[in-house]
Structures are given as C-alpha cells and as structure tokens.
Amino acid sequence: MKRNMCMVGIVCFLWTTSTVPAENAKPPTGKTNYLAALQQAEAERVDTMKSTVVEESAEASAVGWTKPVPLTLSVDYTMATDYIFRGINFSEYRRKWGQPKNEGTEKLNHQLTTGAELDLGAFGRVGGSVWFEWFAGQSALTPEDGHKNLQEVDYTVYYGYNIEPIGVDAEAGFIWYMFPRVAAGDGSSTQEIYLNLSFDESVWLRALGLNVKESILNPYLYQAWDLDLARGGYYGEFGLAPEFALADMGCGGMPILKDITITPSWSMAWDHNWLNKMTLDPAAGGWGVGNEGRGYASNTSHLMNMKFGGQVSYDLKSALNIPDRYCGAMYVNGFMYYSQRIAENFLNDEFWGGLSVGYEW
C-alpha cells in the first residue's frame, strides 16, 4: 500500500512539473542572444559573398575574354582583277605603245595590308598600316625594270575619335605613297593628309523621336589633300554602305547563311587640281608628260566618277566558333564594283572584282 502511494506521488509530481506555464520558463542569457546574432550575421555575409561571386562569374561569361593589352593586329590579302584607285586603272597596259589599252589583257593584282591599332579608351584610338600592291603584269608597264612586280607601297598613320552624342566617328591621318618602279624625281612618291567622317544617322533619327537602334545607310565623307605630286589639289568622296546580315533577316538558324553579310555600296567622287595632275595618261596632261612629276598647274575641278557595287562577307570566326582569345575576326570577302566615269577626258568606265581573306587579333 505504501509502495502504491509512493508511485502515485511520483506520477503527480512529474505531471505537475510538466505543466508549468511556458512564461515561467527561464529566459536565455544575454550571452546566448549575442552568439546567435553573430552566427546569423556570419551566415548572411557568406550568402552575400556567394551571390556576388555568382553575379561576377555570370557577368564575366557574358562579356567574354578580355585582351591583356587593347591592341588589335590585322592582316588582309586581296586578289583583284584590276587595281583601280579613285577611278584610275593603274594595272591596265597597252600591248604595244601607241595602241589603245586593251581591257582584259592585264594580269592579276595581289594586295596585302598589315595593320595595328591601339584603343585609348576615352581618348580615342591610334593606328597604322602598310599596304603592298604586287602586279603580275608590271613588266608591261615598266619593261626597263625587268621582272620586278612590286608596284606600290603605302604607309598610313592615323588618329580616330568617336563623338557618340552626335553620331560622328572622325579619323585624321597621313599617307605616304611609294612607287618603287618609278624613277626617283619622276613621281616616285607623294604624300597626303586626310579626314574621314563616318556617320551614325540613327542618333539623328532618335533625336527626331524615331525608334531606330543602329545605323542603316552607314554614310561617310572622305577628304584628302595632296602635299607633293598634286600639291594644292584635293580629292573628295561621299558614299553609302549599308550592311545586311542574313542572320538578322530570318536566317539565324541556317548553316552558312547565318554567317553571311551583304554590303551594297555607292559613292560619288570629286576633285580640284588632283585628277589633272595625278593621271598617268599623257593625253590627259598628267605627270607622265615629262613635267618633272608635278603635273600641269591648270586650275580645274571635276565631278570624277560614281562607283557602284558591293561585297559578300563570310564570317569564318563565327562559323568555326573560334574563341575570342585566339581570334578577333576572320573572314572571306567576295567583291565586285563598277566605276562610271563623269570626267570623260581623264577616266574610263571600269569593272573589276576579286576576293580577300583577313584575320584580326
């Protein structure tokens, strides 16, 4: 009986202690609150760091590889049926002197350009290039020079700056033209300074309230002033060169077509005291008439020619999925142009085409 009473007492005691109101429980000490808060703050800091790392990684992946030095190196090889420069054919020759020039008798022209450009960030860009013209039929133009085929070498240095608020990219430069096959003193070189303005007309259209995201016509204005052979003369050109990427015209998922861009173009050229001094045709009064390489000083201005044509470009970098660290651009271009003469006493109608391949890093 006593044992039963003891068991009942123990059960009552346990039941009583288990039903103590929660508010009577002993609150945690201040030290315990501090440790919990510290642990929570540390966990939040770790989560923030993880989030930051993920965001930076995603951003880096979107931007891609960045060059250690903002320097672009480029090389371009072009094979052309004629060497046409500002409407003048420098690769057409007569089979015999005194006979008219025979279109189609000339051989191929091989042209190579090597260049380098340094991006100065907010201060623009500086660069330079060397251009070579190797003509397979040069011996017909300069038979006294044997079989040396290097016809021309041009050295160019320039500075460019993009004025984004008004949609103008300005480039000013200096070109030294060298003609290795011409005897010294008879016009073996000349120099020019030039200014080229490329316009982004979408900036102007957006200012008028139109929703245009990028340039459509890609207009440009080029002006050059000669310092030697045509000293006092200048050459000007205005043109349009819109680009149509087939990937943006519904061909984004089609092999080959997705990497093709078609660029038709048109330009109009004019001059003052340049064409009459620089033409190689003696009948036109150029520096080939024994005037010591200076040309006639006649005061003339001309609308020179209009040029029509364009090119089809295939983006090899995109097609082959070459990473940025190995290639900035790689392409194959096919081109064809027609030059319609306006200054009939100096120029002929010209039609030519060719192929070029290029690489940039």
Q: Which of 220, 237, 255 is nearest to 85 (CA)?
A: 237
What is the per-residue pLDDT for 48? Answer: 58
Per-residue pLDDT reduced to its tens digit, 114-166: 999 999 999 999 999 999 999 988 887 777 776 789 999 999 999 999 999 99
Per-residue pLDDT reduced to its tens digit, 281-305: 444 444 443 333 344 446 788 899 9
* Residue 14 in domain: no
* Residue 167 in domain: yes
What is the per-residue pLDDT for 105? Answer: 60
* Residue 232 in domain: yes
* Residue 95 in domain: yes
* Residue 309 in domain: yes
* Residue 284 in domain: yes
Q: Which residue has the tokens 């109101």?
A: 21
Q: Which of 270, 221, 214, 268 is nearest to 242 (CA)?
A: 214
What is the per-residue pLDDT for 13? Answer: 42
Measure the CA dihedral 288/269/179/172, to 10°: 140
CATH number of 126's domain: 2.40.160.40
Domains held by the chain: number? 1
Structural domain range at position 192 = 73-360
* Residue 22 in domain: no
* Residue 124 in domain: yes
